[in-house]
Amino acid sequence: MKNLLKFLPAYCALFALASCSKPSETTDVTTEVEVSDTTSKYLSEPLISDHYTADPSAHVFDGKIYIYPSHDVESDVPEDDLGAHFNMMDYHVYSMDNPDAAIKDHGKVLGADDHPWAKRQLWAPDAAEKNGKYYLYFPAKDDKDIFKIGVAVGDSPIGPFTAQPEPIKGSYSIDPAVFEDSDGSYYMYFGGIWGGQLQKYRNNKFDDKGAAPTDGLPADDEPALGPIIAKMSDDMLQFVETPKEIKILDESGNPLLNGDNNRRFFEAAWIHKYMDKYYLSYSTGDTHFIAYATSDNPYGPFTYLGVVLNPVEGWTNHHSIVEVDGAWYIYYHDTQLSGKTHLRNIKVASLKHLPDGSIETIEPIKM
């Protein structure tokens, strides 16, 4: 903390400058603070320091890394357990030539005013490419304060993106992640409990089960809720099947229980494939781990194997995993710059698959 405090004036100056710039401009993000201080307690330093970013979704398109994060902002919304203070209203796109290169901000590519149905809380997005078209998927609350998932389409990884007039039919909750399988099929994984509203659904039907974050959750000795999967249509704009819940099992083949807070799913599902295995990684939420499970099938069931990323500074932990030139990386966030749980900064670190198929646990804070 001592190292961070001495840089706060520089950070504040950067944020003041950022508020005066035009968001549509393409800029190289330069770091004027000493984030490379060798005495830092952090494994990695922020990639962006002129404004706040979180929930980084990283992909390689045409040999370049593109990052689609949410854009954290300060607001007058009080903090609560449903995440109302995460009041993000637009998205930027960033690119890097490689994980060690400078990061470029391509400016605002989509905002709440760019589509008729999404009213607020534009939370963690994802992106996909198919046949030269690029698709930006995003959750947002509609005029009834219910999360749905929308899609915007562009001809470039950096947009501009044009939003579809309605959310994806049958979509709900948060944290869309679209995975392209080796056979050319695309699947969306989504869902998050508490503020993400997944606990309000059973068999894809909404039932407002109460205002408290835990209202609607299974009992602690019952199977935990899992993320949802649906195969995408050829045009990438809809589901071609009824969404299905994914089961995550323990080492004995039994479903993880709702009370198993260190291992059960909370939000932020992500899929990557390694050695013909499907790796489902996700946030455990209130215990702050990025855990993972594996399967031979994109629909699961998945068997829990361990932890990818230990807790970061800040209440949330949200990530993506991407292969770049044969090496693997995890993009994630913490609150190093602000110390506030709703004002985060994205980072990147190396990820290692071990010979037995497990993933070496990453410690984001040096011991």
Give me the active site residues, please: 55, 267
Instruction: Give the whole-angstrom CA distance, residue 113 versus residue 20.
Output: 20
Tell me the per-residue pLDDT of 308-334, one tens digit each, with 9 for 90 and over. 999 999 999 999 999 999 999 999 999
Q: Residue 196's pLDDT is what?
A: 96
d(CA 48, CA 102): 10
Those residues of the chain that have pLDDT short of 70 are 1-38
Q: For the chain, what is the total number of helices (H) and then of strands (E)? A: 2, 23
Tell me the C-alpha distance between 271 and 273, whole Å: 7
Residue with tokens 């198993």: 260
According to the model, what pLDDT value does residue 82 have?
79
Token representation of residue 112: 């709440």
Cis ω before 125 (30° cut-off from 0): no
Strand pairing of 126-130 and 133-141?
antiparallel
Q: Is 291 helix (H, G, I), strand (E, B) or coil?
A: strand
d(CA 101, CA 113): 33
- Return phi, psi of residue 328, to 5°: -115, 145
Closest residue by Cα to residue 171 from 196, 208, 195, 143? 196
pLDDT confidence of residue 84: 80
pLDDT score for 80:
75
Q: Considering Cα of 266, then 271, then 275, then 277, what sign does the dihedral take?
A: positive
The pLDDT, as a whole number, for residue 96 is 98
Tell me, what's the pLDDT at 34?
38
Do 200 and 148 contact (CB within 8 A), yes or no? Answer: no
